[in-house]
Amino acid sequence: MALIKWRPARDLDPLDLLTGFRSELDQLVEKTLSPFRGGRTGLFEGAWVPVVDVFEDDDRVVVKADLPGIEKKDIDVSIQGDTLIIKGEKKQEEEVTEKDYHRLERVYGSFQRVIQLPSKVDAQGIKAACRDGVLEISLPKKEEVKARKIEIGE
């Protein structure tokens, strides 16, 4: 249970309350529906999206995506403006009939992850590598957005 600081009624703004409620409702819907965004949810193929970390330093933006069991040839990375797109497909290892399963929790099928980048990047210098089921994409920042130290003269 969250504690809410008491404020006198004269300090309450109904628009603030509605905006906060809308934001929390949006987050709830996003968390609930995000596993099903791919559209296909058959027995042997599920809709899923890989989880990602996005961080930046002075020179680059880095995106790491968990893609266990997916070969490099089944991953497509592209950039459109300030948006990074990761697409691919997780294929089932072997054919097993439905009656042979005791539990089926892993998902298979196509995925797409669209990531809004926090800074403008130089598309020519992008590097991507996939090791141990983790895709790491390094996107160098454009010169105009890199932080610069400015010396103060006398």
Distances, alpha carbon 141 to alpha carbons 40, 76, 116, 127, 134, in Å: 36, 21, 14, 12, 22
What band does 95 get if pLDDT is binned at 50, 70 and 90?
low
**Residue 29 is assigned to a structural domain of this protein:** no
114 pLDDT more than 90: yes
**24 in a structural domain:** no
Mean pLDDT of the chain: 80
99 is a domain residue: no
The total domain count for the chain is: 1
Q: What is the pTM of this model?
A: 0.62
Q: For residue 8, is it within any domain? A: no
pLDDT at 63 over 90: yes
Query: Rounded distance, CA 49 to CA 35, Å?
Result: 7
Q: What is the pLDDT of residue 9?
A: 64
Q: How many CB atoms lie within 10 A of CB 107?
A: 17
What range does the domain containing 136 cover? 36-93+107-144
Higher pLDDT, 104 or 114: 114
CATH number, domain of 76, equals 2.60.40.790
Give the CA distances from residue 98 to residues 42, 48, 62, 67, 114, in Å, rounded to whole numbers and listed in that order.
Answer: 11, 20, 40, 25, 33
More confident: 133 or 21:
133
81 part of a folded domain: yes
pLDDT at 98: 66
pLDDT score at 54? 95
C-beta separation of 66 from 133 below 8 A = yes
Task: Inform me whether the pLDDT recorded for 38 exceeds 60.
Answer: no
DSSP string, 25-67: HHHHHHHHHGGGTTS---SS-------EEEEE-SSEEEEEEE-
Residue 91: which pLDDT band, with cuts at 50, 70 and 90? Answer: confident
Distance CA 95, CA 54 (A): 36
pLDDT digits (tens, 9 = 90+) for 136-145: 999 999 888 7
What pLDDT is recorded for position 10?
Answer: 64
Q: What is the residue whose two structure tokens read 């949006």?
A: 26
Quote the pLDDT of residue 44.
39
